[in-house]
Amino acid sequence: MNAISPAVPAPIGLLAELTHRCPLRCPYCSNPLELDRRSGELDTATWQRVLSEAAELGVLHIHLSGGEPTARADIVEITGHCARLGLYSNLITSGVAGALQKLEPLADVGLDHVQLSVQAADAARAERIGGLRGAQEQKLVFGRRVVELGLPLTLNAVIHRGNIDEVQAIIDLAVELGARRLEIAHTQYYGWAYLNRAALMPTRADVALSIAAVEAARARLAGRLVIDLVVPDYYAKYPKACAGGWGRRLMNVTPAGKVLPCHAAETIPGLEFWHVTEHSLGDIWHRSPAFNAYRGTDWMPEPCRSCDRRELDWGGCRCQALALAGDAAATDPACSLSPLHARIKDLAVSEAATEVAPDYRYRVIGGAPAAARQEEPA
C-alpha cells in the first residue's frame, strides 16, 4: 500500500500542536501522557514551511492548538502565514496568561476564528478542574474581547462528572459572551482522560439530562447559537468516526514535528510515524506507514468488514480499540456490535456510581506517574 492511491482524498484540516506548554492542567487533556518539551519544538521557519505544504496539499482549515498556542512567541507570525496562504486559521486557546495580549495582533494579521475553552460555568469549579486559580475571570475577559473585535467565538466545554450538571449554565454563558458556536463535548477517554476516567465518568442518567438540555437549547437558540454535541462513547450505540476516518480528513503535527493521523495515535505501538523535517507533508499523507495502517476498510475485522456502517464510522477509534480491547485493529468497543461493548458499559456504570470521585491526576510535563500509565486493557 505504498503507492499513491488516487482514492485517497486530500486532507481538509491540520491540527498544529504548536507547543505542549500550557498554564492549565486539565485532567482530561487530549495531549499524550509524554508531553514534548520546549527544547524539542519546531522553529518558526519549519512551521511556515509545513503550513505552505499543507495549503498545497489541499488543507483548508488550520487548527492552531497546543498546549496553549499563544505560549509560542511566534504565534502572530505563524497565524499571519496562514492568512497569506488563504488557510482558515482557528486558534484553540485557554484564554489565560499571555493570550489576551496576543489577541489583537492576531486579529490584525487575519486570524479567522477563536475557540475558547471553559472548564465550567462556576469559577471555583472551573479553576479546580483546570488547576489554575484566577483563570475564569481571564477567560471571560478574553471571550468578550474576541466578540468586541468582531471575531467569531466558539466556546468549548469538555463535559464530565465534575461539571455535567452545569450544561445549562454553560449554554447561558455562551449566549452571554456572544459566542456563535458552543461545543458541548463529552470527555473522550484517551491519554490523560483515560488515566482519570474513574474521576470523570458521569452517570448515564446525567448524560441523558445533558443531551436533553442541549436539544432544548438548540431549538430555543436557533440562528443565535449553534451547539455541537459530542456524545460519550461508552454509553453510545455506535462509535464515532474518529478524526472523520483514519487518514481521510485530518493530520496532526506534534510540537516536535511528528505527523499523526489523530492526536492519540502515538499510543498505538508499532506504528511508524514520519517527521516533517524528513518528509514533505504530501509524502507523509500518501505514503507514511502510520497513515496507511488503518486507512479505508481493508484492515477491518468482522463485524466491521461486512457492516453497513463501515464507511460511516470507519470502524470507530483505533486508539480506543487498543486501550479497551488490547488490539488497535479490533472493532471499537464503543460500538454495540463489539463483543466487548457490554463490559465497557458496565465499567462506565460502575465507575460513575462511586459515591466520591477519585482525585484528579493533573496534566504535567514530565509524564504521568509510572503506575498510572495506560497499560492494562479493561
Partner 1 sequence: MSALTPLSVPRLPRGVRMRFDPVRNSQVLLAPERTFDLDEVAVAVLELVDGQRTIGEIAGELASRYAADKAEIEADILPMLSDLASKRVLET
Residues found near partner 1 in the complex (CB under 8 A) = 10, 12, 56-58, 60-61, 86, 88, 90, 112-113, 115, 150-152, 154, 180-181, 222-226, 228
- Least CB distance from residue 223 to partner 1, whole Å? 3
C-beta atoms surrounding 97 within 10 Å: 19
Helix ranges, the chain (H)? 44-57, 75-85, 99-108, 123-130, 135-148, 167-177, 191-195, 197-200, 204-220, 281-287, 289-293, 310-313, 318-325, 341-352
Q: How far apart are CA 344 and CA 54, in angstroms?
A: 38
Helix or strand run (H / E) with residue 25? none
The alpha carbon dihedral of 65, 255, 192, 240 has a sign of positive
- Least CB distance from residue 124 to partner 1, whole Å? 30
Helix ranges, 230-368 (H)? 281-287, 289-293, 310-313, 318-325, 341-352
Closer residue to partner 1 (CB): 181 or 204: 181
Closer residue to partner 1 (CB): 113 or 295: 113
- Least CB distance from residue 119 to partner 1, whole Å? 20
Closer residue to partner 1 (CB): 91 or 120: 91
- Least CB distance from residue 132 to partner 1, whole Å? 26
Closer residue to partner 1 (CB): 85 or 211: 85
Closer residue to partner 1 (CB): 128 or 180: 180
Q: How far apart are CA 369 and CA 363, in angstroms?
A: 11
- Least CB distance from residue 80 to partner 1, whole Å? 16
